[in-house]
């Protein structure tokens, strides 16, 4: 245990994902020794992200306003809706410049081990959107791993009952990989070669 504020900082850092006690200690002492303006920049960035960023009420992507920039963009194709697991997947797909439709972020994938079922994801909101928006095709772009495939399968069954056309990105993504890691060329090709997944 260290005195006062240093220990508080170590405790807070240790709560972050992927940071163990040793890393927390190293970062804390790095910050302690660093230039005050640099440390202030980090503190400000954290404060600002909490004060100004939120999740888009329509697509659940990260957003500065109630609606994100993509949802507000009138040049986007309303008939195409791409369903992804996380905001970072939106970034990965946007980089390919292959997709001009809109997005829906689920907030994860179905995983009984982690206690995540359909009700824990933004699936009900997806159904409401399909009712309200002129969507003609839903592209299931969940990750090409076991949980992503199961989620896509669940959604394709659901969409079949709603009589909405569903497609899945063509394979060619690395096995067991995350969408995020897929290089832009592969991901771009996956978009042009997507296939129907009707039940």
Partner 1 sequence: MLLRRIELTDVRSYDHVSLDLEAGVTLLVGRNAQGKTNLLEAVHRLATGSSHRVAGDAPLVRAGCELGVIRCRLETDDGRERRVELELASGTRRTRTRVDGQQVRRAADALGVLRVVLFAPEDTAIVRGEPSERRRFLDDLLAQRRPAYAAARADYDRALRQRNQLLRDARAGRLPAGGTFTTALEVWTEQVVAAGAQLIAARVAAVRTLAPPTDRFYRELADRPEPVGLVYRSTAGAATATSGADDARVPDPSAIVAGLRDGFVARAEEERARGLTLVGPHRDELELSIGALPARGYASHGEVWSLALALKLATDVLLAEVGDRPVVLLDDVFAELDEVRRERLATACRGFDQVLVTAAVEADVPLAGSRVEVTLDAGVTRLRPREPGPTGVEGAA
Q: Applying CB under 5 A, which residues contact Zn ion?
A: 56, 58-59, 61, 68, 71
- Residue of 124, 119, 120 lying closest to 104 (CA atoms): 124
Tell me whether residue 120 or residue 129 sits nearer to partner 1 (CB atom): 120
154 binds, among Zn ion, partner 1, none (CB under 5 to 8 A by kind): partner 1
Tell whether residue 41 is a contact of partner 1 (CB under 8 A). no
**Residue 151: which residues within 8 A CB-CB, separation 6 or more?**
85, 106, 109, 110, 121, 140, 142
**Residue 18: which residues within 8 A CB-CB, separation 6 or more?**
none
48 binds, among partner 1, Zn ion, none (CB under 5 to 8 A by kind): none
Question: How many whole angstroms separate alpha carbon 58 and alpha carbon 65?
Answer: 11
Taking residues 87 to 126 in sequence order and writing x for each that binds partner 1 by CB under 8 A, - otherwise, the string is -----------------------xxxx---xxx-------
Taking residues 158 to 197 in sequence order and writing x for each that binds partner 1 by CB under 8 A, - otherwise, the string is x----------------xx---------------------
Question: How many whole angstroms separate alpha carbon 96 and alpha carbon 48?
Answer: 29
E strands along the chain, which residues?
54-55, 62-63, 80-84, 102-105, 137-140, 165-168, 195-196
125 binds, among Zn ion, partner 1, none (CB under 5 to 8 A by kind): none
28 binds, among partner 1, Zn ion, none (CB under 5 to 8 A by kind): none
């Amino acid at each position: 245990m260290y005195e006062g504020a240093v220990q508080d900082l170590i405790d807070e850092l240790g709560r972050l994902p992927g940071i163990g006690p040793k890393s927390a200690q190293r970062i804390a002492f790095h910050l302690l020794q660093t230039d005050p303006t640099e440390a202030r920049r980090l503190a400000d960035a954290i404060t600002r992200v909490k004060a100004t960023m939120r999740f888009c009420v329509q697509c659940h992507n990260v957003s500065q306003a109630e609606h994100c920039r993509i949802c507000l963009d009138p040049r986007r194709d309303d008939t195409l809706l791409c369903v992804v697991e996380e905001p970072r997947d939106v970034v990965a797909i946007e980089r390919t410049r292959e997709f001009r439709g809109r997005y829906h972020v689920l907030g994860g994938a179905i995983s009984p081990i982690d206690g995540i079922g359909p009700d824990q994801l933004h699936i009900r909101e997806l159904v409401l959107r399909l009712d309200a928006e002129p969507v003609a095709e839903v592209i299931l772009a969940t990750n090409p791993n076991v949980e992503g495939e199961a989620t896509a399968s669940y959604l394709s069954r659901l969409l079949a009952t709603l009589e909405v056309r569903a497609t899945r990105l063509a394979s060619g993504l690395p096995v067991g990989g995350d969408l995020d890691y897929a290089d832009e060329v592969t991901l771009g090709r996956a978009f042009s070669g997507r296939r129907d997944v009707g039940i």
